């Protein structure tokens, strides 16, 4: 699961929101973007950011309360490395942050 979060207050910068149509189309066509499901505990999260062209990865969810989750994408990826590359290409990696979290396995 990929939570899409913004560093901005909701509805404050509609004009400059990134156009994600290309990202959505590419990931829909490749089969990497799916429907939603239950999530594992937040302690399993990995947070991905790109700042000044540098990939930043941290364990755990974001802690800042001013950030807002504005959407989500359920990704079908071979592993965490592939999910990070998908997240890295998302426009909100530059304007906000993307949190990756495994889907809970209810059968275990």
48 in any annotated domain = yes
Q: 99: exposed, middle or buried (C-beta count within 10 Å: 0-12, 13-18, 19+)?
A: buried
Q: What is the pLDDT of residue 38?
A: 37
In a domain, residue 107? The reply is: no
The average confidence (pLDDT) of the chain is 78
pLDDT higher at 9 or 93: 93
Is there a domain that residue 105 lies in?
no
Kindly state whether residue 29 falls inside one of the protein's structural domains.
yes
- DSSP, collapsed to helix, strand or coil, labels residue 59 as strand
Is 69 a member of any domain?
A: yes
- pLDDT one-digit tens code per residue, 58-101: 886 655 445 667 788 999 999 999 999 999 998 888 888 889 99
Range of 38's domain?
Answer: 2-10+21-100
Is 15 among the domain residues? no
- Answer yes or no: pTM beyond 0.75: no
Higher pLDDT, 13 or 6: 6
The total of structural domains in the chain comes to 1
């Amino acid at each position: 699961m990929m939570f899409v979060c913004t560093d901005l207050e909701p509805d404050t910068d509609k004009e400059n929101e990134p156009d994600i149509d290309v990202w959505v189309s590419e990931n829909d066509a490749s089969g990497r973007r799916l429907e939603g499901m239950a999530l594992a505990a937040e302690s399993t999260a990995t947070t991905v950011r790109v700042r000044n062209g540098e990939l930043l990865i941290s364990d755990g969810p974001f802690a800042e309360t001013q950030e807002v989750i504005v959407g989500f994408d359920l990704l079908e990826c071979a592993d965490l490395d592939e999910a990070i590359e998908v997240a890295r290409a998302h426009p909100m990696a530059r304007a906000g942050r993307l949190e990756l979290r495994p889907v809970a396995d209810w059968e275990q």
